[in-house]
Amino acid sequence: MIMNILRTLLALSLLAAASARGDEEKSRIEEAILQDIMKNTKVSVETLEEAALAKCFAAPFYRATIASQSGSGSMKRKAVYAKTGDGLQKISDPGTDAEIEGLADMVNPAFALKAEADGETMMTAFKTLFPGCFDDKVDPRISRDGTKWEFIADSFFKRFSGFEVTTDPAGKISSIKRSLNINGDG
């Protein structure tokens, strides 16, 4: 009986050692693939110098063009980053109803969203950060209901899409969201 237990323990330890070697090999392969991707990827960066961005936000923004070559094909994508006190932060490309992570925290403390002119400045900032969210067939406009501002950028089925900004009564921004459900009455 003790021999059976010893054989079982030996078999288990051999399996564990083989599994660990497999994990090490998998890590080496993953690292080699990552190195290949990096070797075949080029990044170029442009500073977004729109005055509305500097007025609305305290962080500088950059648009990166990331080009990856793979065999005979290539792929390009763009991404926006902000330089904050914590380093570079990617600004998510809002594809659905959701808070745009971290963007409200980057608002310039001197900026308040109180008057129509402030709304127009914010609209210009959104156009600069998220040009793909704007459709030339839709007239960009702003709708306001108290402390809720809606920035209409595009149509979405029988409604509009764009950005929803919430402020306190003094105009201090507390939330910036992507919205696919804007009435457009305003």
Residues contacting 67, CB < 8 A, separation 6+: 41, 42, 43, 44, 74, 75, 76
Query: Does some domain include residue 82?
Result: yes
Q: How confident is the model at residue 16 (pLDDT cuts 50, 70, 90)?
A: low
Q: Is the residue at 5 inside a domain? A: no
Residues of 134-160 as b/e, b for ≥16 C-beta within 10 angstroms? Answer: beeebebebbeeebebbbbbbeeeeeb
Residue 55 lies in a domain: yes
Does residue 12 have a pLDDT over 70?
A: no
Which residues constitute the domain of residue 96? 41-182
How far apart (Å, rounded) are the C-alpha atoms in residues 176 and 98?
Answer: 9
Q: Per residue in 33-49, pLDDT tens? A: 778 777 888 989 999 99
Query: For residue 88, is it within any domain?
Result: yes
Instruction: Please indicate, yes or no, if residue 7 is contained in any of the structural domains.
Output: no
pLDDT tens, position by position, 125-164: 999 999 988 888 888 889 999 999 999 888 777 778 889 9
174 and 166 in contact (C-beta within 8 Å)? yes
Going edge to edge, which strands form the sheet with 61-70?
A: 41-48, 61-70, 73-84, 87-91
Average pLDDT over all residues of the chain: 85
In a domain, 143, yes or no: yes
Structural domain contains residue 83: yes
96 pLDDT tier (thresholds 50, 70, 90): confident
Is 100 inside any structural domain?
A: yes
Structural domain count of the chain: 1
Q: Who has greater pLDDT, 66 or 52?
A: 52
